[in-house]
Structure 1
Amino acid sequence: MSARAEFWRDPRRWPVNVPGFVFAARAVTEVGKAVYGEAWTGAEPISNDPFNFPRIPLLGGKLGRLTQSSAKPWQKESINSLLRKHRPEFGRTPVEYRAYGPKPLVFSEDEWSAGLDLAEQADESLTALRARFDGAVAHIVRACAEGELVSALRPKEGGKMSDPLPAHMWHTERAAVRFDWGQMNPHKPFDSGVGGDAYQFVYFGRESLDRLKASISKAGTRPAQQPNEVSGSKAKAFEREFRRIVDASPTRRTHSKEALYKLAHQVSKREVDRIRGLVLDDYPEETMRAWRGAGRSAQEIDAG
């Protein structure tokens, strides 16, 4: 389990709320419920990252599934864990560690195929969970950057709240790291670290947070520009999820086309492409360029 997940899993480790202020983790939970309603499960902050196993280019421009020969050790270990948990009939055993390292894992054709199926199924849920968490954080960051949400810092050992942080403190692509442990370094506010001795806890003003949630609830789910052109429950579900993904990262593409096809595996690729185009038509030019252009390759996106 990652350090971020451990922190989020146990609210007893979170600092107390201060009169008039709400700790960052609790604010994310409140905004998540306001944005996603019943779809917010509470598991979003502690979910694992999707596996996103890469597809292998084939002749004719097609893409094949990850093969054993090209898989990395951690990918094989992930497949082994999935099979042990969900397909016990295969009789897979834990990874055996020896003096020189783990014993190489070998799978039958049926085991490897079943493991990839399980990984793809897990990715559907994990991608949606991660998108909702990122979406809630994005709402908070955007509100702070636009001066709508009051933010402040408190020393970890306790004491007086800082003066409200100016909006420009949130004008950065690194703001999301402040929600890993709810901390920020006041001396290096644009650092990419998540915590440490020099860091302080991040809080948000209660009144401004309530106003933000009220505005979200009043606005509701933004309808598609051409709602009549997207029909069917699966297609509509993908449309909503894709909007949330783009909202979470409007200027940096985080999902390749292949990742979107996997996310909407019950929708045809042609329909995914069409919905993707309709959704992006609603966004500013900067967002359209980021998500429509050639951008980063699928391998680069998978690598983060």
Structure 2
Amino acid sequence: MKKRLFALSLIVVMLLGMATTLSGCGQNVTKRADTQDTWSKIKKRGYVVVGLDDSFVPMGFREKSGKLVGYDIDLARAVFKLYGIKISFQTIDWSMNATELRNGTIDLIWNGYTKNPQREKVVAFSNTYLKNKQVLVSLKKNHINSFDDMTGKTLGVQSGSSGYESLENNPKLLKDKIAKKTPVQYDTFTNAFLDLNAGRIKGLLIDSVYASYYIKHEANSADYQETQGTFKSEDFAVGMRKGDKTMKRKINAGLKTLKANGTLDKINKKWFGNQKVEN
């Protein structure tokens, strides 16, 4: 019996040792993926993998035909065209974007990604290419003219979005006013708008670029209204791994070139018309 117990104990110790080793290997792989400068490898293979939420109108979304289009799609392609590199766009769970990046599943997060101190701890950012802000969208019939008018009412927000972070980081501005002090979270803004139209939520905290484009293309656009609160404006930038210093220089240089040669203005006009945007 003692021999059997000793043998079982030995097996358990060996298995624990293997698990620890494998865990360590996984951490090392992630660490290497996060610290390597991958530009030469990407240049050699001829394409870069960009992660996105393909329902984020107008930054990157699917048309009814399934074709991927959007402001960031055009901008990313224009930047990498300067270097003779193609782009493979990969749809991801937006709440896991930084994890996908650090694991090496994707090379970039380029999809209306807001630069902030919290994200800068784990992700490197390019220069800002577009300014954004959070707005409260509601139906006019609900008479939501200020954040105070959301007192006791249900608010929607996308999981993992900059709107959700703004809500959590500045609770006195809006979160503490809404029903149960807790928003309803959605995977996509499309689903959030469906619930807004159905009356299941009374307001939706959302990026102004999405709100303006979505409402403009709705048949009943006059039924909506946008309310601005006091959340700070945001900087849209490209997210990349900390080790990709060459990538950062190349993207920044590309954005500068596109602004100088007028390409950025053309993309602005294509997606926002005469609406003034700040780059």
Instruction: Please indicate the TM-score interval, normalised by the length of the shorter structure.
Output: under 0.3
Taking structure 1 as the reference length, the TM-score comes to 0.26
Which one has a bigger Cα radius of gyration? 2
Q: Name the structure where helix makes up a greater proportion of residues.
A: 1
TM-score (norm 2): 0.28
